Amino acid sequence: MKIHLAFENIDADLWLSPVSRKKRRTYQTKTGEKTNYKRYLKYNMEKRPELLLKDPKLFKNIRDSDPDVDIELTGRFIKKTRRITVNEDFVPVYNYMMYDILSLPDGTKKERLHKHTKGNIMDKIPVRISQELYDPIEIMLSYIFRRNLYITHNNGLTFKFLYDLAKKLSDLHKFARVDTYDPKTKKRAPLTLYDGGRKFPRAFLEGRVKGKSYCLILHLSDQELKIP
């Protein structure tokens, strides 16, 4: 994933990568043979326990047939699947509206109409590292961080740029605020990594240096800790 990042009079296209990577695993049988993944049908939706309990003829259904296993469907292999939206009765829904549920400091919840988000980390206006510096302890006690990403270089020039930035933050023992901007209003906007992704109203940059190596960590938060 790329990010268009700027600090002072320098801006560059850099890379974002997860701080923890999943280890590659291979699965095999006891005899050493490789395993294959296949999808199959687990049960018949029409014979779910919730629906059976609503049926006044429950005893007759249990007596006349096995309500848990449909011999004709269960165990059948499936090649392709498609995700569909259903209601509480598992009936497909073709027209619906999505809402976001907000948890307020007093414990109440509020609904608002969901808006499709658009990624803004590769816009013409770069993601800017602010001159505002914050104490790391205060930041960690004030926000809940949902995601952390490494910012990495792609050539020698961007290496020097990021190394100097990481050293500055490391020497000061501070976090720098990271802001994105709306191209139309030119005002600050929540950082969004990709289209349809989560919005992060707060983002902070941490820098570490060891010898000739650097580490820049982008901390992303979508929730602030407040006393009710």
What pLDDT sits at residue 24? 81
Residue bearing the bigger pLDDT, 169 or 105? 169
What pLDDT sits at residue 65? 62
φ, ψ dihedrals at 164, nearest 5°: -65, -40
Mean pLDDT over the full length of the chain:
85
Q: Are strands 2-7 and 127-134 parallel, antiparallel or unpaired?
A: parallel
Q: Which two tokens stand for residue 160?
A: 């020097």
Beta carbons of 159 and 153 less than 8 angstroms apart: yes
Q: Mean pLDDT across the stretch 145-150?
A: 93
3 state DSSP class of 86: strand
What pLDDT sits at residue 5? 92
CATH fold of 2-21+116-224, please? Ku70; Chain: A; Domain 2 (2.40.290)
* CA distances for 83 relative to 13, 130, 211, angstroms: 35, 41, 49
Instruction: Say whether pLDDT at 68 is over 60.
Output: no
Instruction: Say whether pLDDT at 7 is over 80.
Output: yes
pLDDT tens per residue across span 148-164 = 999 999 988 899 999 99
Instruction: Say whether pLDDT at 67 is over 60.
Output: no
Instruction: Say whether pLDDT at 75 is over 70.
Output: yes
What pLDDT sits at residue 207? 95
Q: Which two tokens stand for residue 228?
A: 């009710």
What pLDDT sits at residue 58? 65
Give, for 26, the enclosing helix (H) or strand (E): none
Domain ranges for the chain? 2-21+116-224, 42-75
Beta carbons of 179 and 108 less than 8 angstroms apart: no
Beta carbons of 222 and 146 less than 8 angstroms apart: yes
What confidence tier does 61 reach under pLDDT thresholds 50, 70, 90? low
Report which listed range, 51-55, 84-88, 162-166, is most confident. 162-166
Q: Is the pTM of this model over 0.85?
A: no
What confidence tier does 36 reach under pLDDT thresholds 50, 70, 90? confident
Residue bearing the bigger pLDDT, 10 or 71? 10
What confidence tier does 123 reach under pLDDT thresholds 50, 70, 90? confident
Q: Mapped to the 3 state alphabet, what secondary structure does 38-58 carry?
A: CEECCCCHHHCHHHHHHCCCH
Question: Per-residue DSSP letters for 179-199?
Answer: EEE-TTT-SEE-EESSTT--E
